Amino acid sequence: MTFKNNRAVVLGLLLVAIASVTLLISWSGDDRNIVRELEKEPQLSVYINETGQIQEMMLEEYLAGVVAGEMFPDWPVEAYAAQAIFARSFTMDFIASGGVKDKYGADVSTSIQETQAFNPDAVTEDIKQGVEMTRGEVMTYDNRFVRGWFHAYSGGITARAKEGLDYQEEEPPFTASVTLPPNEHVPADVKEWTAQYSADELRNLLAQAGLNVGAIQSVEITERGPTERITQITVTGSEGEQTITGPEFRLAVDSTKMKSTLVRDFNFADGTLTITGTGYGHGVGLSQWDAFMLAQEGKNPEEIVKTFFADVEIRKIYD
């Protein structure tokens, strides 16, 4: 398999992971996630889902496996380092809220759906260097850990949580909509993509998501958010009319096919829905391909992280 094809596979798997993990991520003022300085690097208990065993490992070793699972091969060290800050912040907050103690008796697991991707076999020297560059660094807001969102590519502008994720709680104070310059590094099929669905295919996909309207007669965008991402779609069929949020619709029709809700053209005609758009992922928080670009431009990991969030602080909590 060529590097280009391998990268595409990794990208698809990554976005599935992001869609799965989204439900775990929220902002809370709970005192359990208050940031405190530690005397030494934490040791974690990691439940290995593939074997059912629990392994003890130091946090930085675990993070290298997470960065290898969440990012692409042969990227700039600074991009890995920025991702390490996210992973470390997520992990510390996740453990503060109880981790998977109730389920497995461990702090974290290797399940993408439960915590984060973990692929220790893919760890490279550059990934190790990136993790070490930000050793002990976490992202905080109001002295609490931030479980920051991330996605593959913003399409040139990121979204806040309510728009990009249909976030049901109050908008977190640290989210931001950021406009990015043109990015020459983004793969062509991520910068511009087209997805098509027949009426029957669409009916079946939506029915699996709990939306049953019978034979599809029309599909229309009925609301867009501040960055022009789709926030509501109305589907009309032989058995009635229903609305669905843009993020819900994307997940229902395969989020690796309809890569984002930042859609330019959306047309249902002659029994076929054709969607053209840009970007990959929900669009909230750190955009990985834009982090790649910023790293290539010489930005350090802390600058990359702060590009995508408002008023966050990077703190070193252990040496």
Query: How many Å apart are CA 8 and CA 3, to the nearest integer?
Result: 9
Q: What residues does each domain of the chain span?
A: 3-150+284-316, 193-277
9: number of Cβ within 10 Å: 10
CB-based contacts of 48, cutoff 8 Å, min separation 6: 54, 55, 109, 110
Within its chain, how far is the Cα of 192 from the centroid? Answer: 19
pLDDT of residue 73: 86
Question: Residues 150-192: pLDDT tens digits?
Answer: 899 999 999 999 999 999 999 999 999 999 999 999 999 999 9
- Buried-exposed string 79-113: b where 16+ CB fall within 10 A, e elsewhere: bbbbbbbbbbbbbbbbbbeebbeeebebbbbbbbe
Indicate the length of the chain as a whole number.
319
Q: Answer yes or no: are the C-beta atoms of 252 and 208 closer than 8 Å.
A: yes
pTM of the model: 0.85
Residue 47 host element (H or E): strand 43-48
Average pLDDT over residues 196-217: 95
Of 78, 77, 74, the closest CA to residue 3 belongs to 74
Question: Residues 272-290: pLDDT tens digits?
Answer: 999 999 999 999 999 999 9
φ, ψ of residue 5 in degrees (nearest 5): -70, -40
Question: Residues 20-50: pLDDT tens digits?
Answer: 333 334 445 557 778 999 999 999 999 999 9
Chain mean pLDDT for the chain: 90
Query: How many Å apart are CA 148 and CA 197, to the nearest integer?
Result: 33
